[in-house]
Chain A
């Protein structure tokens, strides 16, 4: 298993979809939908219009290679969305919208894991890359950005997750039409929705309309272009996450997110459709559990005049004052906040690397399953405890100087620091050891800066736990 060195987004060519499908549909006339035996989530006209608008995302080479690269791109988007949603959710507290957005972020985490399973299924390595490591300004609905909760940000999220206007209920359309009209340059639909549509086509066995998403067959993707065999099919019993057989992945904590093992072509099609239905647009327009419906509910029930202290946009760490006043306003200049942000970033990187390391271990091997479980445990500990607590303490600190009424607060930075996550088990073990060494130094630095009692407890707890993980780490400061 090896992944291409080139960035997936950069390989995508957006081609004009073929017209042959349209022609075929015309010959079928009004019976087209009835022949599939079920009403589609979105009719062919709106779906076709979207694909014609964006084009057919294509990557040269075999259908398998195309599926692999498009899945890598999808994974980058899922990762980016979950971080963006998480940041906005945290920034909204104590507004109840924060909890609702957090639920969506958790579901995006599930999407990310399911995409890892799909990557394994098509025979390449999992990838924890993020969209901003492989930016595609022309395609992104909005550039990757950590932004605090506001009406404007929520509008962007709505646009990113919305189905075609034509497929909305009248009430939904009444809210969304003015928003769309006010954004003439805004893409009508998140392009990752088209990505999942194309992936669905590639995963189909042939050109015929295929449940559960038969509408895809009418979109004009290249005929006879389907993945014939899946080189990673055996991974469903070895490296993939199996939510049923591996309770330690805590799929039950996924708040209804799509979290599936991929053991067959049919399972892959089901997963792709489920992800597209829950988020990312093109399917499930009337699903009240879709991310669009949830964002719309938040949008309709939030009093935007009552927002909490504003977090920065794209906070970053630097010892140097930035010449650009807009960027400088978002720089975390407070040494204590910066020290906690540094710890935060490393815990985030440990989280990502732990997931990748877990996926490098065969769950059917008695020798490896314990290591796999250990790394999953680490990932969840970082996720539900470390970064959550650090974010809370960071946001209580001033961004620049002493905290006073109206002073801006600091916020977590989610920096990847050019993180490069290796693929082999041994290299991953070493990478985790390196990250823990860096984290230990960062924690000791933060503890030396006089953090509050709760933060001291949390940091000391991390150091103690890290020492259990890697006994060779320096002793914990008393």
Chain B
């Protein structure tokens, strides 16, 4: 029997916030959402997304080590390894932000134009923030960078490392600081700084933010045994906040990674596991976008999971027809993955397992569940450039195995990709607030990523009418200054089936 150690999730997602110390955990169980951190492993959804000073809490990406035993038939069994009882785990994390040193983001076909740099007048080394973190081990530890990342010589805080009571790694990112050096440069409005390229939704001369990404590795030390490095390392992405953590993209980064892995769609899809997530995601967008399609999607899941009655067949046909309008319609630059399309086609044709359960039992923490929960929170469309990571995540060559970022060089869209800290996020908007603000500019019939960046919200537990989420945020700079004041969308205390905006700062009223 072969034994190895692996880190899960393969790709963890931390998120920015301006609270100096308060944080919560990235989703670890599918369909539960972000969690409060408890040393006794009690699963508790986040109580508040703002701290006592009304500042936005950061989301930590937590990583665990699993001992994986594989029998002769290739079957794998997993057991988590934690600190103590002769086991010692040492973690290493590298983070970097290369956005300002990157080429222009042009579109999904030219995600990076190396002939047109964002800051052609500055040495890329001056624009790349790459702090050095010492290794971290033991329980309840905190490690900050021994050498801070710098932008044009100015230190920029990209985050810190912590461990929980069982020695699991928690990566926390920056505190949402975006600025220009020199100060006061225009942002995202199309204006041109003299002698420099015009600024756009994605490219802004002289600007930086504190997004980052990089590899996570670990060594397991068991008393009396040689050190054993984790055979599969992981990657952490520090992303912008998710302001609607209980809504999912219709296609998520999980779907994208599954597609990139070459996995085939099930011959006979399960309604519960394969179809329902798509339907729920689409319907759930009604709480963050006022487009009529979302409320048109039926939530009569029992009937939608039924075969052989005229009413059920008609409802299924109608729902499939409505879903077909999302591509090139309600969501910009959105495509179902090929597997999702195959699943929906099979379902529409009555080829599926009718296994709907209204109240499925809660899932435990599992390696597969960690991967799924982590990536399901991230958008898998609208890669223009997107939120957490861009179009390059669709490339099979991006992965060494499912949900694991490769360490091998490959080419994408004509550009050589060299995996290293900061390479995943380098083509994302710089700063992120620029694109985030711009994406309120949906047309009257389409949106970008409402599952992360709401368009319309119901402000209050029983509000009947939706309001623009960015009320009182008139421009890109205002979002830089006030990103932490915006409200978060979560289940209403009055009716958990409704999602409403909460914790909006009173200084930016609707």
Residues of A within 8 A of B (CB): 103, 244-247, 252-256, 377, 380-381, 384-385, 388-389, 392, 452-455, 457-458, 460-461, 464-465, 468
Contacts and interface: CB of A to CB of B under 8 A. Distances in A.
B324 A392 contact: yes
Contacts of A461: 292, 445
B441 to A, nearest CB: 8
Nearest to A383: B328
B219 interface: no
Contacts of B110: 256
Given A252-B106, A252-B107, A389-B325, A457 B292 contact: yes
Contacts of A385: 328-329, 443, 445-446
A452 B321 contact: yes
Contacts of B323: 454
15 contacts: A103-B109, A245-B192, A246-B190, A252-B200, A256-B109, A381-B446, A385-B329, A452-B321, A453-B322, A454-B322, A454-B325, A457-B296, A457-B322, A460-B292, A464-B292
A100 to B, nearest CB: 11
Nearest to B321: A454
A205 to B, nearest CB: 28
Nearest to A468: B444
B324 A454 contact: yes
A245 B319 CA distance: 41
A94 to B, nearest CB: 8
A457 B198 contact: no
Interface residues on B, range: 20 to 34
Nearest to B319: A453
B321 A453 contact: yes
B328 A388 contact: yes
Contacts of A252: 106-107, 200, 384
Given A252-B200, A256-B109, 5 more contacts: A380-B443, A385-B445, A388-B329, A457-B296, A457-B325
B40 to A, nearest CB: 49
B293 interface: yes
Contacts of B287: none
Contact of B198 (A244, A377, A381, A460): A244
B317 interface: yes
Contacts of A253: 107
B23 interface: no
B82 to A, nearest CB: 47
Nearest to A244: B198
B205 interface: no
B148 interface: no
B290 to A, nearest CB: 12
B90 interface: no
A392 B190 CA distance: 35
A22 to B, nearest CB: 38
B458 interface: no
A389 B322 CA distance: 11
Given A247-B201, A389-B325, A377 B443 contact: yes
A256 B200 CA distance: 17
Contacts of B445: 381, 385, 461, 465
